[in-house]
Structure 1
Amino acid sequence: MTHINVLDPGASPLDYYGFELRRHREAAGLTQRQLGEIVSYTGSLIGQIETARKVPTPEFSERVDVALGTGGLLSRLVDLVLRSQLPVWFQQVAELERRAVEICTFHTHLVHGLLQTEAYARAVLGALDQTLLDDRTAARLSRQRIFEKEAPPVFWAVINEGALLPRLGGSKVMRDQLAGLLSFEENPLINVQILPHEAGVHAGLQGSFDLFRFVSDPAIVYTEGYGSGHPTANPDTVKDCSLRYDHLRAAALSLKDSAELIRRVMEERYAEPSDSVA
């Protein structure tokens, strides 16, 4: 007889998801293998998700919702599951991202997580720790679903030019990441500006920060250290960082010139081997 793990649906969002997946699959009279064949996944993967040993993806959830006629239950649950996979200290930040109507970010050495491609995110997250890398990458990318909401936030990213230069994951990974930034050129809600080296002394020399604004709640400034995050609604800090951000945007290249710089870095630094052959 096959051993069936007994899940406590109240133990975690992942356990609850697995419990509901199994309940709906069994109600449909399908084995794990049969459901896997319907949704083009292995029966083994179905089993791992049902027993909370594997984190589901939004695509998996959508396919299973259709196959089992769950009315979108799993697609609604998967956001909660993925958010729960983020580091505990970062989960509050993901909630701020979800609730904000405007997000202003300044980063000195990385592309912001909300704009990262999958390969770039894997390279960053796997720099020192390869454990559960698939799940951690999926959790990071899930945050980008805020741009799919009915009323997505306005997003401003000022990125230091230096963040475009390290070959994180290799040339292809960086080329695709920069192409990802360029893909937002025609999106008025996602705005990318590059702070060039020529800017010299600037208002962000103390480091990266994010600024979240809401419909009625006070604005919040977020800064980050190794393994810890520091959100604050202190009015003086918010006022200071808001002023700093205004100066950073003024010192940065325009949206058009920023795109041209990104494109130039792509072509000159991360060109495909065939691109450089006359």
Structure 2
Amino acid sequence: MAHINTLDPGASPLDYYGFELRRYREAAGLTQRQLGEIVNYTGSLVGQVETARKLPTPEFSERVDAALGTGGLLSRLVPLVLRSQLPAWFQQVAELEARAVEICTFQTHVVHGLLQSPSYVRAVLGVLDQDKLGDRTAARLARQRIFEVGQPPVFWMILSEAALYQEIGGHEVMREQLAHLLAFEDDPRINVQILPYSVGEHPGLQGSFTVFRFVSDPAIVYTEGYSSGHPTANPDTVKDCSLRYDHLQAAALSIKGSAELIRGVMEDRYGEQVA
């Protein structure tokens, strides 16, 4: 209990969330166990969230908001809490994703995080590091909520064919991931194109990159290295990467042709029959 009493709401978004949860619960005259029974979670989990030892989920927050009459406060805090759990160097990129009206990305070996399935996320993040894997997975998946807002960004992903064969997480994980990509086939705001092996040399040989475009702010190019990210609004860099992206898009398969290739890989390599 000492930890609860010393929780600093200014220490982090997670601490602030826990502080507010405890404040609203106590104002309602409920114990952690009683609140847990109302929202169908354990009292222990309520206590872990209150003491910033457990990340709140959107579902947990919605139930508690309804039970305690918070006016949706905790649900509004969830995106901020989850974003704060991303690596410090990546938090700025998550903010760019949330503000952009168009995101154009080229990926060489791995599906972009905004289109990764849950099991694929766990496999990617779990390489050499299993610490807090559940929380880190939740934080990455939370970025995908930008597609659920009133005016989501238009998203284009050109994915190297190699990424379809890079067996991350095993056959079942890959089947799920490729099926996840196919789920966007008829969504005009989320577009997937495959850059086939047959293209040979291409303008993306230097590596993956992403171009963010905004309503009024200058476009930003983002590239990534080991444990570091490099966003830049340098006009020459933006112009160069935009040109490269245009040429990559011209060389890539159409959206329909890309879906057909993905289906073929699912059947031939991962043993999945897709209608």
Calculate the TM-score normalised by the size of structure 2: 0.97
Cross-structure match for 1:26: 26
| CA deviation vs aligned residue, 1:91-129 (integer Å, no higher than 9, x gap) | 000000010000000000000000011110000000110
Residue 176 of structure 1 aligns to a residue whose secondary structure is helix
Query: How many pairs does the alignment contain?
Result: 272
Residue 203 of structure 2 aligns to a residue whose secondary structure is coil
Cross-structure match for 2:229: 229
Q: Do the aligned partners of residues 205 and 4 (structure 1) sit closer, same or farther apart at CA in structure 2, a change above 3 Å counting? A: closer
Offset, 1:144: 0.5
Offset, 1:64: 1.2
Q: What are the ranges of 5 or more consecutive residues in structure 2 without an aligned counterpart?
A: none
Residue 167 of structure 1 aligns with an amino acid whose one-letter code is: E
Residue 230 of structure 1 aligns with an amino acid whose one-letter code is: H
Q: Do the aligned partners of residues 160 and 23 (structure 1) sit closer, same or farther apart at CA in structure 2, a change above 3 Å counting? A: same
Cα distance in 2 between the residues matched to 1:151 and 1:239: 26
Residue 214 of structure 2 aligns with an amino acid whose one-letter code is: F
Cα distance in 2 between the residues matched to 1:67 and 1:161: 48
Cα distance in 2 between the residues matched to 1:79 and 1:101: 18
Calculate the TM-score normalised by the size of structure 1: 0.96
Structure 1: 4+ residue segments shifted above 6 A = none
Offset, 1:258: 0.3
Offset, 1:39: 1.7
Cα distance in 2 between the residues matched to 1:14 and 1:143: 17
1:239 correspondence with 2:242: no
Cα distance in 2 between the residues matched to 1:64 and 1:179: 33
Q: What are the ranges of 5 or more consecutive residues in structure 1 without an aligned counterpart?
A: none
Offset, 1:3: 4.7
Residue 103 of structure 1 aligns to a residue whose secondary structure is strand
Offset, 1:4: 5.4
Residue 250 of structure 2 aligns to a residue whose secondary structure is helix
Cα distance in 1 between the residues matched to 2:85 and 2:213: 25
Residue 4 of structure 2 aligns to a residue whose secondary structure is coil
Equivalences for residues 34-45 of structure 1 within 5 A: 34-45=34-45
Cross-structure match for 1:65: 65
1:160 correspondence with 2:160: yes
Cross-structure match for 1:75: 75
Cross-structure match for 2:211: 211
Equivalences for residues 27-176 of structure 1 within 5 A: 27-176=27-176
Cα distance in 1 between the residues matched to 2:245 and 2:27: 54
Cα distance in 2 between the residues matched to 1:4 and 1:124: 34
Residue 268 of structure 1 aligns with an amino acid whose one-letter code is: D
**C-alpha root-mean-square deviation of aligned residues, in Å?**
1.0
Residue 152 of structure 1 aligns to a residue whose secondary structure is coil
Cα distance in 2 between the residues matched to 1:164 and 1:64: 41
